[in-house]
Amino acid sequence: MRQPSSPSPTATYRLQLQPDFPFAAAERAVPYLAALGVSHLHLSPVLEAVPGSTHGYDVTGHAAVRAELGGEEGLRALAATARAHGLGLVVDIVPNHMAVPAPVSLNGPLWEVLRDGPASRYARWFDIDWDGGHGGRLLLPVLEGRIGDELPRFRVEGPLLHYGEQVFPLRPGTERLPLPRLLEAQWYRLAWWRLARTELNYRRFFTISQLIGVRAEDPEVFAATHATVLRLVREGVVDGLRVDHPDGLVDPGGYLARLRAGTKGCWTVVEKILTGAERLPGGWACAGTTGYDALRHIDGLFVCPQGSGRLFSHYRDFVTPLADEGGDWEETVRRAAYEVVEHELAAEVERLVRTAARIAERVPRPGDHAPWALRQAVRELLVRLPVYRPYAGDTTDGTRTAADAAMLGGAAERARATFRVPEEAAAVDLVHDLALGRFARGGDGDGTAGSAAVDRDAVDGDDTNRDVANRDVADFAARFAQTASALHAKSVEDTAFYRYPVLLSACEVGGDPGEPALGPGTFHEYCARLQRDWPESGTALSTHDTKRSADVRARIAVLSECPDRWRDVLSAVADGREVADDAVPVDPMVAWTAWQTAFGLGASAAGGPAAERLTPAVLKAVREAGLRTTWTEPDAVYEEAVAEFVRGGPCGPAAGRLAALEAELAPHIRANVLGAALLHLTMPGVPDVYQGTEREYAALVDPDNRRPPRFEPELLAELDGGATPAGPSAEKLRLTAAALRLRRAHPEWFGAASTYQPLTAEGPAAEHCVAFVRGGRVVTAVTRLSLRLRETGGWWDTVLRLPAGGAWRELLTGRTVAGGAAVGVDTLLTEWPVALLVREEGPGAGRGQLPGDERE
What is the pLDDT, as a whole number, of residue 849?
Answer: 36
Query: What is the average per-residue pLDDT within 509-522?
Result: 96
What is the pLDDT, as a whole number, of residue 447?
Answer: 38
Between 190 and 367, the more confident residue is 190
What is the pLDDT, as a whole number, of residue 766?
Answer: 97
What is the pLDDT, as a whole number, of residue 364?
Answer: 55
What is the pLDDT, as a whole number, of residue 366?
Answer: 54
What is the pLDDT, as a whole number, of residue 66?
Answer: 98
Mean pLDDT score of the chain = 91
Query: What is the average per-residue pLDDT within 826-837?
Result: 96
What is the pLDDT, as a whole number, of residue 464?
Answer: 58
Q: In the 8-state DSSP scheme, what is residue 285?
A: S
Given a cut of 80, whether residue 573 has pLDDT beyond it is: yes
What is the pLDDT, as a whole number, of residue 5?
Answer: 45
Burial of residue 7 (number of CB atoms within 10 Å: 0-12, 13-18, 19+): middle
What is the C-alpha to C-alpha distance for residues 295 and 640, in angstroms, rounded to an integer?
A: 34
257-312 tens-digit pLDDT: 999 999 999 999 999 999 988 999 999 999 999 999 999 999 999 999 999 999 99
Say which amino acid occupies 777. R
Query: What is the average per-residue pLDDT within 648-664?
Result: 91
Query: What is the average per-residue pLDDT within 803-826?
Result: 94
Cis check: omega of the bond before 219, within 30 degrees of 0:
no
Given a cut of 90, whether residue 441 has pLDDT beyond it is: no
Given pLDDT bands bounded at 50, 70 and 90, which one contains residue 574? Answer: confident
What is the pLDDT, as a whole number, of residue 654?
Answer: 86
Residue 772 parent element (H or E): strand 769-774
188-192 and 138-143 as β-strands: parallel, antiparallel, unpaired?
parallel
What is the pLDDT, as a whole number, of residue 841?
Answer: 74
Given pLDDT bands bounded at 50, 70 and 90, which one contains residue 583? Answer: low
Q: Strand runs (DSSP E) across 496-643, as ranges?
A: 538-540
Q: What is the pTM of this model?
A: 0.94
Given pLDDT bands bounded at 50, 70 and 90, which one contains residue 498? Answer: very high
What is the pLDDT, as a whole number, of residue 349?
Answer: 96
Q: Residue 853, Cβ neighbours under 10 Å: how many?
A: 15
392-422 tens-digit pLDDT: 767 666 677 788 889 999 999 999 999 999 8
Given a cut of 60, whether residue 334 has pLDDT beyond it is: yes
Given a cut of 50, whether residue 444 has pLDDT beyond it is: no
What is the pLDDT, as a whole number, of residue 456?
Answer: 47
16-32 tens-digit pLDDT: 999 999 999 999 999 99
Q: How far is CA 314 from CA 324, 498, 502, 592, in A?
A: 18, 18, 9, 10
b/e per residue 172-199 (b: at least 16 CB within 10 A)? eebeebeeeebbeebbbbbbbeebbbeb
Given a cut of 70, whether residue 687 has pLDDT beyond it is: yes
* Three-state secondary-structure class, residue 179: helix
Q: Which of 119-128, 569-578, 785-794 has the lowest mean pLDDT?
A: 569-578
Given pLDDT bands bounded at 50, 70 and 90, which one contains residue 577? Answer: low
Q: Which of 69-78, 166-175, 194-203 has the lowest mean pLDDT?
A: 194-203
Given pLDDT bands bounded at 50, 70 and 90, which one contains residue 134? Answer: confident
Q: Which long-range contacts (CB under 8 A, 24 or more apart) does 158-162 make?
A: 161/186
CA count, 13 A, side-chain hemisphere, 352: 34
Q: How far is CA 738 from CA 108, 437, 530, 735, 853, in A?
A: 48, 50, 23, 5, 9
Give every CB contact of residue 819 below 8 A, 6+ residues apart in sequence: 802, 803, 804, 805, 806, 807, 808, 839
> How distant is the alpha carbon of residue 333 from its chain centre?
18
Given a cut of 50, whether residue 443 has pLDDT beyond it is: no
What is the pLDDT, as a whole number, of residue 579?
Answer: 47
User: Do 540 and 365 form a contact (C-beta atoms < 8 A)?
Assistant: no
Given a cut of 60, whether residue 843 has pLDDT beyond it is: no
Query: What is the average per-residue pLDDT within 155-177?
Result: 96
What is the pLDDT, as a whole number, of residue 363?
Answer: 67
Start-end of H helices in 95-209: 108-116, 147-150, 179-184, 196-199
Question: Which of these, 422, 388, 390, lies nearest to 405 by C-alpha position?
Answer: 390
User: Do 516 and 506 form a contact (C-beta atoms < 8 A)?
Assistant: yes
Phi first, then psi: give them for residue 800, nearest 5 degrees: -125, 120
What is the pLDDT, as a whole number, of residue 609?
Answer: 62
